[in-house]
Amino acid sequence: MSLLRIDSLGVRYGEEVAVVNLSFSVDAGESVGLVGESGSGKTQTAMAILGLLPRNASVSGSIVFDGDELQGASEKQLDKIRAQRISIVFQDPMLALNPYLRIGDQISRVLIAHGMGNRQHAAARTLEMLKSVGLPDPGRQSQAYPHQLSGGMRQRAMIASALITEPDLLIADEPTTALDVTVQAQILDLLDAIRKNTALLLITHDLGIVAGRCERMLVLEKGNLIESGTTRALFQAPQQEHTKAMLAAAPRLAQSDLPASNSDEILVNVDGAAVSYVEPGHGQLHAVRDVDLQLKRGETLAIVGESGSGKSSLVRAILGLIPTRAGTVTYCGKKLPADARARAAKTRRDLQLVFQDPIGSLNPQMRVIDIIREPLHVHEKKLSRGDGKQRVEEMLREVGLGDGFLERFPHELSGGQAQRVAIARALILKPRVLVCDEAVAALDGSVREQILFLLRQIQQASGLSILFISHDLGVVRSIGHRVLVMYLGRMMELSSNTELFERPRHPYTRALIDAVPVPDPDRQRPPLPLGGEVPSILSPPSGCAFHPRCAYAISRCENTLPEKRVLGAVTVACHRAEELDL
């Protein structure tokens, strides 16, 4: 008998349909992946199982858990099931944990609330649980408040809280989406290792996470279950177009069909750039230290790093949005003033930026035509209204949107469309450098591919140079001609695309590559690629910033800062770069 059986489940919000006629089952101890893009109804399904849907949702069908019907069950009945027998881990542990309670207290409350032990017993059990989820020094950490823990540690605490009752089913809703890539692998491995007899329903948009971790998977599209089967079978022979498209869009590190760029003209040259902020109570925060880079005409330079690596600060300093503390930024051989206001109109229009959040970067009160036309209004004052409109129309077609979009407001656009509008706004002045700050991170797989394709197409046609910031090596593989790897404000490695992925020189680069979830169920997952988490930028480690997490660290790494070495076409900051074969 299956543990959970869902039969023709439907979730509607008035006219809007979130889940249609969904049937599936989960057996005891099994791990099942529920996969779909945003809006496919995967979270709605999880919430329906737990009876956590908002009041205005109308639910139909049946959800049977271990013989009990949950659909339409009273709160009282559900309270006996929730947390005790079905637990959930949410995407963002910062939002899921109560900021006013100590970690230990809020985990032991779960036990006490369900009558599974008195205060003393619960506290002991909590410590035990925190230890088994790998929280270092659990005695001390259990006294910490959520904000005092790092993202990965918070998610570990959340998992401890979900599993402390030894439930029969654990629902993990995008448990690693809010975490850095190197931490993501750790958390997924932990989930695998710790759940024992608990069945797992893993909800994700990322096929790479499901591969090799779930026995079976279900693919949702717009609320419909379109395909299901064993993970291996689905990866080898997907039947539905949508599944095929999702698989095609998943990151693959194997090959890159990026057309070469062959210009040696250096547009932007950054030499020894440093950026720092004053953090109240902490003194100086050094976000970027001593970074050099060159951007050539027609090439894409990708900047990769986890949170706190300083990649965003670096490009904002190049753009002049924030001042540099040291170093120079030259554009076409001319030194740029540090402050954006002092930039000449010419350089300002030559360097344009595309943001991460496509909707948030468009003024909600302006129509698409006015949004794209605004740069013209500033820099080409003589342009007539008619000519301006024509330019906007041409630009819209170039980014793959029709004239029908001219009069729309941002909230009437999808994420992908909004990002195209943002790209159109950035390109209307025909800049020579486009900076993309995590420009595809908020987009679904297939949309992400389209935007990357568009950027490459525009680059081919116009010789545009792109500075592309990303935390995702899969994306970098398909767009960056050269790649700069950053960690805690310092550059670790600067290399060409092929060289970086085939022969990484820095242990951190190797760890990043290993951490990418590849959609291949047969891939032998490398053992835990990287321990620990990114330290706080406020107190960076001595010597090489990476040494506390590095498997190859020697005593020299602890004491002295590695200088930048040039090995052929690669620049790398590692004491052992020559001897290591990664």
Partner 1 sequence: MISAKQVFKRARENNAVFYSASVLLAIALVAIITPLISVNEYLTTDFDRILHAPELAAMHLFGTDDLGRDLLVRTMMGIKVTMVVAIVASIVSLVIGVLYGAIAGYVGGRVDAVMMRIVDTLYALPFIFFVILLMVVFERNFLLIFVAIGAINWLDMARIVRGQTISLREREFVQAARLTGVSTWRIITRHIAPNLIGVVVVYVTLTIPQAILVESFLSFLGLGIQEPRTSLGALVSNGVNQLESAWWMLLIPGGLLAVILMCFNFLGDGLRDFFDARQSS
Judged by the rule CB under 8 A, the positions of this chain that interact with partner 1 are 319, 321, 340, 343, 345, 348-349, 352-353, 355-357, 360-366, 374-375, 378-379, 411, 422, 425, 429
* Residue with smaller CB distance to partner 1, 231 or 356: 356
Minimal distance, residue 483 CB to partner 1, in Å: 25
Least distance CB 134 / partner 1 (angstroms): 36
Q: Which is nearer to partner 1, 139 or 360 (CB)?
A: 360
Distance between alpha carbon 329 and the CA centroid of its chain, in Å? 29
Ramachandran class of 447: left when φ > 0, alpha when ψ lies in -120 to 50, beta otherwise: alpha
Do the Cβ atoms of 226 and 36 come closer than 8 Å?
Answer: no
Write down the least CB distance from residue 511 to partner 1, Å. Answer: 31
CB of 480 to partner 1, least distance (A): 23
Phi, psi for 47 (deg, rounded to 5): -65, -35
What CA–CA distance (Å, rounded) separates 148 from 347? 42
Q: Which two tokens stand for residue 259?
A: 């057309």
For residue 454, the minimal CB distance to partner 1 (Å) is 19
Closest CB to partner 1 among residues 425, 510: 425
Among residues 111 and 466, whose Cβ is nearest to partner 1?
466
Q: In three state form, how does the secondary structure of 423-463 look?
A: HHHHHCCCCCEEEEECCCCCCCHHHHHHHHHHHHHHHHHHC
What is the amino acid identity at position 109? R
Smallest gap from Cβ 235 to partner 1, in A, equals 37
* Sheet with 490-496, edge to edge strand ranges: 351-354, 433-437, 465-470, 300-304, 482-487, 490-496, 570-572, 565-567
Residue type, 265: E
How far apart (Å, rounded) are the C-alpha atoms in residues 429 and 461? 15
Indicate the length of the chain as a whole number: 582
Residue 463: CB minimum distance to partner 1, A:
21
Q: What is the DSSP secondary-structure string of 150-178?
A: -HHHHHHHHHHHHHTT--SEEEEESTTTT
CB of 173 to partner 1, least distance (A): 22
DSSP of 397-411: HHTT--GGGTT--GG
Question: 467, 390, 385: which is closest to 431 by C-alpha?
Answer: 467
Residue 490 corresponds to which amino acid? Answer: R
The distance of closest approach from Cβ of residue 418 to partner 1 in the complex, given in angstroms and rounded to an integer, is 11
Task: Name the minimum Å distance from CB 118 to partner 1.
Answer: 44
Residues 349 and 392: their CA atoms lie apart, in Å, by 16
263: Cα separation from own chain's centroid: 32
d(CA 424, CA 392): 8
Q: Which is nearer to partner 1, 24 or 405 (CB)?
A: 405
- Angle CA 385–387–393, to nearest 5: 105
Nearer to partner 1, 362 or 485 (CB): 362
> What is the phi/psi pair of residue 250, to 5°?
-70, 150
Query: Any bridge partners for residue 468, and if so which?
Result: 302, 436
Shortest approach of partner 1 to residue 380 CB, angstroms?
12
- For partner 1, the closer of residues 196 and 381 by Cβ is 381
Please give the helix or strand (H or E) that residue 112 lies within, else none.
helix 103-113
CB of residue 97 to partner 1, shortest distance in Å? 25
